[in-house]
Structure 1
């Protein structure tokens, strides 16, 4: 049984402050919603407090800057910081370096390819957090596909419809191969995503080039 301590509360507040002014893609929903959702999924699938805290903080380096690493390590410990690093496919500074649409798509593809290769050998503790992140994101896309946004949801993503579908097919495959606790739920969600997008074939990023 996982017990949550004041460290968890402190992590919620850290995430809230770090992501102040951030919203989910194409919505007015505060980004903290996603972070709380990931932490909840971690706990649902038997994760520890450190893993739940990492779920709250998993996007801080990517969205807010690499300088947060030292603070996270100091406040929450090496285990949390190392999981956050594993869940980070690029820092905010690296993303800002790509300024044109073509450069952004290429930057996205290179980051995702590195991240997929990284996941294949990552620690199981970090894989649970990453898997919960991908599951929460995939469920949000499915919800949008079923709702008012419909197919236009893919316009929010750098890689568009094809790249987004291929990426989720690829991550589902990695988590299935690594037997991560959320793999079955993620696989079913990705299958639903493809069905709603009228894409019967699940292709990965292998060999894919952005337009």
Structure 2
């Protein structure tokens, strides 16, 4: 579903209720809004705290993080460098509000041997992480919208020629993605352009 419909699901999610977002024979993505948070997350607002959960092959569910989709996309473009622009465009379209499963359709007839999960799950997780930052981000963000942080990294991981090791070290070191991947979408930046299109940074 597109961004607006998914955002509405997030907004309306009751406490302590699992909401299935994606189901396949091997994978399940669901959302949960816990009414009671652990001490680790005591600074979070329960009303805007949404947890994204992933279950694979009937194994124990876990909460995937940003690195999962970033590494998955880097593996795909490393195997198929000729699909760099197609991957960038698909995930830009997701960022701009398109249904993830529609955005990745042009890529689904390619065989990927290097990946972490399915392309469908990676695309839906990307959308959910974008919404998560828009809906539940606590504190001041360097970006407007805050989701540009993850989108900038998605663009950088796909487009960069650096190895996974270097890219992971940079994001894990709390650095920000290069400004070339965020400036025209960032309302806080002097180069912001309203209505930017996919691939504007190339």
Fold match (TM-score > 0.5): no
Relative to the length of structure 1, the TM-score reads 0.28
Structure with more helix by fraction: 1
Which has the larger share of strand? 2
